[in-house]
Amino acid sequence: MKFYNLHAHHYTNNPDVVELVNQYPWEFNESVPQYSIGIHPWHIDEKRLETDLKIMEEKLALPECLAVGECGLDKRIEVPMVLQLEVFEKQIALAERFNKPLVLHLVAAYDELIALNKRLNIKVPVVLHGFSKNAQVAKQLLDNGFYLSFGKYLLQNPELKTTFLSMPNDRFLLETDMIAETLEEVYAKAAEYKEMTIEDLKAIVSTTWNTIF
């Protein structure tokens, strides 16, 4: 059974891995076979916003484009929250229109996401990538129907074990993002924490992946 990687920034062409490669509209790589496309809050540029959204529309119509993302909200950057919310809502609308999941970058804006979810009644699956918070925050997000993806922080922060163990087996995914460590190392740590074999873990993640995508 294959490994599944929810969020990567480089296509590895590894036959043992199904990976969702993050793409940006302004630097799109046609050679990537399976990808998400989105406007990251760090990279919002009002001068090209209309063009970026148009490219996203074109790509989302294609079967190889699996998701909208990464997009989201980040309270620790200088981009005004009003603008971040406007761009995020436009991308949520695209995800709903094309019936594709959302892969989110979210920093210190969990309440805002939950409020948006309630106001917009988001129907598509929502995955928060690179999750690193405590079990209480995780429960709040799970209660609102979101999925959580774990990567580098699982390897770097032993305290995240408690959060990961609190996760139902059908609500998490695994990823590499931009880390030097391999996807196999992330899976090995997750399997160790869950006290299961890597093959059993791969089967669980595969099922969740197929539910979302």
pTM score, two decimals? 0.97
Instruction: Using a pLDDT cut of 70, give the percent of the chain over it.
Output: 100
Q: Is the pLDDT of residue 179 over 90?
A: no
The answer to the question of whether 105 is labelled as a binding residue is yes
Contact 198, 208 (CB under 8 A): no
- pLDDT confidence of 175, banded at 50, 70, 90? very high
Class of the 3-212 domain?
alpha beta
CA 77 to each of CA 15, 46, 80, 107: distance values in angstroms, whole numbers, following the listed order:
37, 16, 8, 9
Could you tell me the residue ranges of all domains in the chain? 3-212
Q: Is the pLDDT of residue 87 over 90?
A: yes
The answer to the question of whether 170 is labelled as a binding residue is no
- pLDDT confidence of 180, banded at 50, 70, 90? confident
The answer to the question of whether 86 is labelled as a binding residue is no
The answer to the question of whether 50 is labelled as a binding residue is no
CA atoms within 13 A on the CB side of 46: 6
CA 210 to each of CA 101, 129, 148, 207: distance values in angstroms, whole numbers, following the listed order:
12, 17, 15, 5
> Distance between the two ends of the chain, CA-based, in angstroms?
17
∠37-134-189 over CA atoms, to 5°? 75
